[in-house]
A and B are shown apart, each in its own frame.
Chain A
Amino acid sequence: MAYPGQPGYYQGGYGGAPGGPAFPGQAQDPLYGYFAAVAGQDGQIDADELQRCLTQSGIAGGYKPFNLETCRLMISMLDRDMSGTMGFNEFKELWAVLNGWRQHFMGFDNDRSGSVDRQELEKALTNMGFRLSPQAVAAIAKRYSTHGKITFDDYIACCVKLRALTESFRRRDAAQQGFVNFQYDDFIQCVMSI
């Protein structure tokens, strides 16, 4: 069963504390600086704060910052306790994933225009390990393109959503059979949680 892998996972050497910010080594983690600047006492950030965090950290490189809906999707992609917020470890995980996706995007955006065309998106999705039929990929690419082009922000939104959906499916397919039985209420709640 083919589930997408994670490209270019960042091999940080930082000690990861299981939860809050009260771990000595973490204060030196530059990522933690951005995070702590917006997180409150509870060490969690919401979509608004995530947007600020990501913008300040410059993860988007030269590209425009992420819109709020994309940030909300990012939180739900990693939000295992369904709290609607993200802790530092999840933020680090997100950072690594975003980095990988950005490298991918830059690989295709040869003229640094900040957007790629549909065929390039289709190629990128396949390269990221999403095993989808050509029709599915074409439909996804169509959904995210404006005048045949996909901007960096939309590209990330697409990847985030794909990954969130994949996670939600995988969580229910414990036996890894490649299919899931959904009862109606469960289906609605599962999908809406994304």
Chain B
Amino acid sequence: MAAMGQQYRPGAPDANFLWSVFQRVDKDRSGIISDMELQQALSNGTWTPFNPATVRSILSMFDRENKGGVNFNEFTGVWKYISDWQNVFRTYDRDNSGMIDKNELKQALTGFGYRLSEQFYDILIRKFDRQGRGQVAFDDFIQCCVVLQRLTDIFRRYDTDQDGWIQVSYEQYLSMVFSIV
């Protein structure tokens, strides 16, 4: 399953190839790929639109000027980012079903270094599975991992003595978390 109907090429893709992809995705030829354009170009393997929250997460990571989209230079980063996620997804979708089930999710997150309880995986699937099949599709899988990463990052920022514990007031808690979940 490839995004944008292109074959996956290992290693650094050449600039011409990426430029042709960029042009095709940038439908209104504005020189910037918007949320909508990126969403239309991506596939999650379910015949339903790619998760807009995931699209926003990805674009905000690479849009250095807060312009609401990415130019060609930034797009090369987006392309690599998505290719990397495709690899990860393929690695953990062991039964090749096109979806990641609870066990596969457990393998993936444990592989990334998280140590989470059994019950928590049910919570994660319930929270991120937009297809309602008790499994996560490609776009929801990315969103799940991105949110987990953001929470980890913000926790680390508060954990100044790095002992795995933080103490937060009500307001700190709200401001830490509100924008992420």
Chain A residues at the B interface, C-beta cutoff of 8 Å: 1, 3, 48, 72, 82, 84, 131-133, 136, 139-140, 143, 161-162, 165-166, 169, 173, 178-185, 187-189, 191-194
Chain B residues at the A interface, C-beta cutoff of 8 Å: 114-117, 119-120, 122-124, 126-127, 132, 147-148, 151-152, 155, 159, 164-171, 173-175, 177-181
Inter-chain contacts of B165 with A (CB < 8 A)? 181-184
Contact A181 B167 (CB under 8 A): yes
- What is the chain B residue whose CB lies nearest that of A73? B181
Contact of A82 among B119, B159, B169 (CB under 8 A): B119
Contact of A179 among B115, B148, B164, B167 (CB under 8 A): B167
Number of inter-chain CB pairs below 8 Å: 91
Tell me the smallest distance from the CB of A76 to a CB of chain B, in Å.
Answer: 8
Contact A166 B170 (CB under 8 A): yes
Contact B169 A143 (CB under 8 A): no
Contact B178 A165 (CB under 8 A): yes
User: Known contacts A136-B174, A140-B178; is A192 also within 8 Å of B120 by CB?
Assistant: yes
- Could you give 25 example pairs across A and B, Cβ below 8 Å? A3-B170, A131-B171, A132-B171, A132-B174, A133-B171, A143-B179, A165-B173, A165-B177, A166-B174, A169-B170, A179-B167, A179-B168, A182-B165, A183-B165, A184-B155, A184-B159, A188-B120, A188-B148, A188-B152, A188-B155, A189-B120, A191-B177, A191-B180, A192-B120, A192-B147
Inter-chain contacts of A179 with B (CB < 8 A)? 167-170
Contact of B178 among A3, A139, A182 (CB under 8 A): A139
Inter-chain contacts of B169 with A (CB < 8 A)? 178-179
Contact A180 B173 (CB under 8 A): yes
Tell me the smallest distance from the CB of B57 to a CB of chain A, in Å.
Answer: 14
Inter-chain contacts of B127 with A (CB < 8 A)? 72, 192
Tell me the smallest distance from the CB of B66 to a CB of chain A, in Å.
Answer: 13
User: Known contacts A183-B165, A184-B164, A188-B148; is A136 also within 8 Å of B120 by CB?
Assistant: no
Contacts A165-B173, A169-B170 known; list 11 others, CB within 8 Å: A132-B174, A136-B171, A136-B174, A139-B175, A139-B179, A162-B178, A184-B152, A184-B155, A188-B114, A188-B116, A192-B124
Q: How far is the CA of A132 from the CA of B178 in the complex (A)?
A: 13
Q: How far is the CA of A193 from the CA of B148 in the complex (A)?
A: 12
Inter-chain contacts of B174 with A (CB < 8 A)? 132, 136, 162, 165-166, 169
User: Known contacts A84-B126, A188-B116, A191-B151; is A182 also within 8 Å of B168 by CB?
Assistant: yes
Contact B123 A82 (CB under 8 A): yes
- What is the chain A residue whose CB lies nearest that of B166? A182
Q: How far is the CA of A101 from the CA of B117 in the complex (A)?
A: 35
Q: How far is the CA of A128 from the CA of B159 in the complex (A)?
A: 32
Q: How far is the CA of A194 from the CA of B170 in the complex (A)?
A: 16
